[in-house]
Amino acid sequence: MFQTTRRRLALWYTIVTAILLLLFASGMYWYVRNTLIERIDDTLNHVVEVVGRSLAIEPISPDSRRLNIEASFRDNADTVDDDRIDLEWFSPTGELLWSTFTEPLDIPLHPNRTGETVQINRDRDVETTPSLLLRQVTERIQVGRQVLGYLRVSHPWFEVTKPSQQLAFDLSMGIGLMLISVAFCGWFLSGKAMEPVKDSYQRLKQFTADASHELRSPITLIQTNVQVALTELDLAEGQGAASLKYGQQLKVVERLTKRLGRLVEDLLFLARQDSGIVQPQFSDCPLDALLMEVVEEQQFAAVEKKIKLSLDLITHSEVEIKDDWFTLQGDWNQLARLFTNLISNAIHYTPENGEVNVELQRISSNKELFSSPLPTLHSPLPTKLQVKVKDTGIGIPETALPHLFDRFYRVDPARTHTKASKATETSTGSGLGLAIASAIVTNHQGQISAESTVGQGTIFTVILPLDVEF
């Protein structure tokens, strides 16, 4: 249990750190990338300004000008080539007149001062030829209202991709190393954090073990002495009024001691379940035989209250029933306690001449009953056992059903403070019986539910898988 919690803590440390590092790395990557792009755009715009000021413009007429291409670009070619910047000059109609590229780019002219990224295939006939990515700025050159042409400045995109890829690689390596370090640190720190919890858990286990002995011993001694006293009173020849009163008081003490003993047993059971001290011992458990035994044990209480207690094993007449048809993986003692609580509860809250019926059947995984009509080959195989405990008792209010399996929860005085009788002594009245039933069902990875109608009766449904997954 502690190792699982430790692994979860270390995993959560690592996941949270990974998310934070990824957000930080993503932010840094895009910041650096955008910074590089802005730097290239500024460089291109600066080149446009420098080249624009050095253009040789010649007058043709008072209202007309022309650009001397040889005089304008003769001194700029070598400079821009060293800076990996290429220039292109276009006529007002978009015709390429001069370029520093060895081959024309063959891309449409698009005036843009903010910068744009274009992709150029160097050789369309060869699919394996890598494409060329360029960052471009295109400026319209005009004097007054006369457009002399267009100047397009290009910069290789690898000036952005190369440092960006290197940065991404460095960030990935850094994040990987950081996560490994965080995982080890998280494992170490979670172990340190779990040490006080583990110590408290060990003390709780020891306390539970000690309390189990210390609480049982005095209760057992009280019961023994009371029983001895009652036996001596029965054997005494004289039965005066004082002796009768004394005997009645001893019987009350005996009854209350039994109730206290059952309460202690229930509390210790729940404490052990919560602390994991006692693990269920799973083995092949024939549920039909178990229910027969429990029903037989509860028959005396049912007969005393004139209640009809029955057990029905629901099967399909056309299906071959094997010996292990109702056998599951479970703990016999816990399951016996589970159904003893449910059946005794049903008997306790069912009035005289009522009925308590227990049904057992196999159901499919989708909770459809394995009954008529006969399932086909494509029908889901029955993989669970369903037990229903039905009674014709006083019922449970609808508002109480959601809290029915809570510890120490009692519905109302009418259900918990009925007149004492021999039949009712099987009930603790502590509000722990259904909580224990729920804990046992949870141990077997099953489900328990209740439905009730006031004045008509209650149905408890328990669904248990045939095979428990560990």
Residue with the larger pLDDT of the pair 396 and 242: 396
pLDDT score, position 19: 92
pLDDT at 359 over 90: yes
- Highest mean pLDDT, choosing among 249-258, 283-292, 377-386: 283-292
For the stretch 388-437, pLDDT in tens is: 999 998 888 888 888 888 877 766 554 444 443 443 344 445 567 888 88
Confidence of residue 115 (pLDDT cuts 50, 70, 90): confident
- Tell me, what's the pLDDT at 468? 66
CB 335 within 8 A of CB 293: no
For the ranges 90-104, 165-179, 427-441, the one whose mean pLDDT is highest: 165-179
pLDDT tens, residue by residue, 17-71:
899 999 999 999 999 989 988 888 888 888 888 888 888 887 877 777 777 777 7
Domain chopping of the chain, boundaries: 2-163, 280-465
When pLDDT is cut at 50, 70 and 90, the band that residue 292 belongs to is very high
Fold of 2-163: Beta-Lactamase (3.30.450)
Q: What is the pLDDT of residue 205?
A: 67
3-state secondary structure the chain: CHHHHHHHHHHHHHHHHHHHHHHHHHHHHHHHHHHHHHHHHHHHHHHHHHHHHCCCEEEEECCEEEECHHHHHCCCHHHHHHCCCEEEEECCCCCEEEECCCCCCCCCCCCEEEEEEEEEECCCCCCCCCEEEEEEEEEEEEECCEEEEEEEEEEECHHHHHHHHHHHHHHHHHHHHHHHHHHHHHHHHHHHHHHHHHHHHHHHHHHHHHHHHHHHHHHHHHHHHHHHHHHHHHHCCCCCHHHHHHHHHHHHHHHHHHHHHHHHHHHHHHHHHHHCCCCCCCEEEEHHHHHHHHHHHHHHHHHHCCCEEEEEECCCCCCCCCCCCCEEEECHHHHHHHHHHHHHHHHHCCCCCCEEEEEEEEEECCCCECCCCCCCCCCCCEEEEEEEEEECCCCCCHHHHHHCCCCCCCCCHHHHCCCCCCHHHHCCCCCCHHHHHHHHHHHCCCEEEEEEECCCEEEEEEEEECCCCC
**pTM of the shown model:** 0.48
pLDDT of residue 245: 64
Q: What is the pLDDT of residue 390?
A: 93
Range with the poorest average pLDDT among 73-82, 85-94, 184-193: 73-82
For residue 449, what pLDDT is reported?
Answer: 92
What's the confidence (pLDDT) of residue 365? 62
> What pLDDT sits at residue 463?
93
Contact 29, 168 (CB under 8 A): yes
Domain 280-465: assigned CATH number: 3.30.565.10
Is residue 371's pLDDT more than 70?
Answer: no
Per-residue pLDDT, 164: 86
Give 354: exposed, middle or buried? Use CB within 10 Å, 0-12, 13-18, 19+.
buried
- Residue range 298-307, pLDDT digits in tens: 999 899 989 9
| Local confidence band at 368 (pLDDT 50, 70, 90 cut-offs) | very low
